[in-house]
A and B are shown apart, each in its own frame.
Chain A
Amino acid sequence: MVTKIAEDGRSRLLVPKLKPTNSQALPKEATHTELALEGRWRVVVVNDPVNLMSYVVLVFKKVLGFDETTARRKMLEVHELGRSMVWSGLREKAEAYAFTLQQWHLHAILEPDETH
């Protein structure tokens, strides 16, 4: 089951699972997974030529709880710069936001946040 953001903003049904990167070294693999899960992750929305500006603003307000000004600013970042980071934090919640944004058919991706 995939994590979802409920109407109250809390995540539900989460099963974050990272793909192991080294099948021969179990302890190292476990350490990698633990660090990845504990690290910070960014939810980035990537521009597409399809979705309307007004639609993207609505989705940002609905899913991320942005006010009108923030939603418009983030939408313009996506439009003009090609992408915008809309949230960062723990992976499980980042996955939940990315999933919900994808349910709204925005091109949302997850990236490790290496600034922390």
Chain B
Amino acid sequence: MKRIEVKLALTVVAPLLDVVKELADSLRSRPAGPSGLPDVDLDFSVEWSRELVEGQRAEIDALLGLFGEDFFKEGVVAFDDQNAELILRACAAIRLRLRETLLKPMGDEALETGDIDLGKLTLAVRRAFMCYLFLATLQELIIQHLDETILGG
């Protein structure tokens, strides 16, 4: 079983976890994205969303599970074949939710190009954007080191 451990700077990451937790709660009740289904009946649409949300709950649990007691002692998080896929998806879901909530004032173009003057952001938006980048970094790490694990799973 392939496993990677990453040492994170506690003082940098800990404040971002409040943002993660806040958005994680909203993902326990509503899908991260639009349904994209044309002309389906209400029951089907509701069931579609319910199953997406059920999946999101497992993803969020896996992501928050990284930041338990061990993390606050050592600053280390670990990815393996048990949690990599779920965490990858959780990061995507939270980044999408950040876009439509806390990062909405920045606009899509700035998010996509990364052309952002941090000094012009409010403290709350800057923290949300740092969280957005942090989650992308986790995704890159997983894709770089565990893509074969995910594709083979």
- Name A residues whose Cβ lies closer than 8 Å to a Cβ of B: 1-2, 15-21, 46, 48-52, 54-55, 58, 61-62, 95, 98-99, 102-112
Given contacts A2-B51, A50-B95, contact A105 B151 (CB under 8 A): no
Q: How far is the CB of B86 from chain A (nearest CB, A)?
A: 11
Q: Interface stretch among B32-40, B70-78, B120-128?
A: B32-40
In angstroms, how far is the closest chain A Cβ from the Cβ of B17?
Answer: 20
Q: Which residue of chain A is the closest to B85 with respect to CB atoms?
A: A62
Interface readout for B103-116 with A: 1 if CB under 8 Å, 0 if not? 00000110110000
Cβ contacts under 8 Å, B109 to chain A: 49
Question: Chain A's nearest CB lies how many Å from the CB of B134?
Answer: 13
A49 and B33 contacting across the interface, CB-CB below 8 Å: no
Interface size class of B (residues with CB under 8 A): 35 or more
CB contacts (< 8 Å) of B48 on chain A: these are 2, 99
Q: Which residues of A contact B37 (CB under 8 A)?
A: 95, 98, 109-110
Q: Who on chain B is nearest to A57 by CB? A: B143
B147 lies within 8 A of A58 (CB)? yes
The residue of chain B having its C-beta at the shortest distance from the C-beta of A3 within the complex is: B48
User: Would you call B136 an interface residue if the criterion is a C-beta within 8 Å of the partner chain's C-beta atoms?
Assistant: yes
Q: Interface majority SS on B: helix, strand, loop or mixed?
A: helix
What are the residues of chain B within 8 A of A62 when measuring CB–CB? Answer: 150-151
Nearest Cβ on chain A to B143's Cβ, whole angstroms: 5
- CB-CB under 8 A from B139, the residues of chain A are 52, 54-55
B99 within 8 A of A: yes
Does B117 sit within 8 A of A, measured CB to CB? Answer: no
Contacts known (A19-B39, A21-B39, A58-B147); A102 close to B47, Cβ less than 8 A: no
Report whether B96 and A55 are in contact in the complex, using a CB–CB cutoff of 8 Å. no
List of 10 A-B pairs having minimum Cβ-Cβ separation, nearest first: A109-B36, A49-B112, A105-B92, A49-B108, A19-B39, A49-B111, A17-B44, A19-B41, A17-B41, A50-B95
CB distance from B97 to the nearest CB of A (A): 10
Q: Is B24 an interface residue (CB 8 A)?
A: no
Complex Cα spacing A19 to B32, Å:
24
Whole-angstrom distance from the CB of A83 to the nearest CB of chain B?
Answer: 11
Q: Which residue of B lies closest to A62 (CB)?
A: B151
In the assembled complex, the Cα of A110 lies from the Cα of B38 at a distance in Å of 7
Q: Once the chains bind, are A103 and B55 in contact (CB under 8 Å)? A: yes
Decide: A104 and B92 in contact? CB cutoff 8 A: yes
Asked whether any CB of chain A lies closer than 8 Å to the CB of B145, the reply is: no
B74 → A minimal CB distance (Å): 27
CA distance A40 to B108 in the complex (A): 33
Chain A residues with CB under 8 Å of B40's CB are 17-19
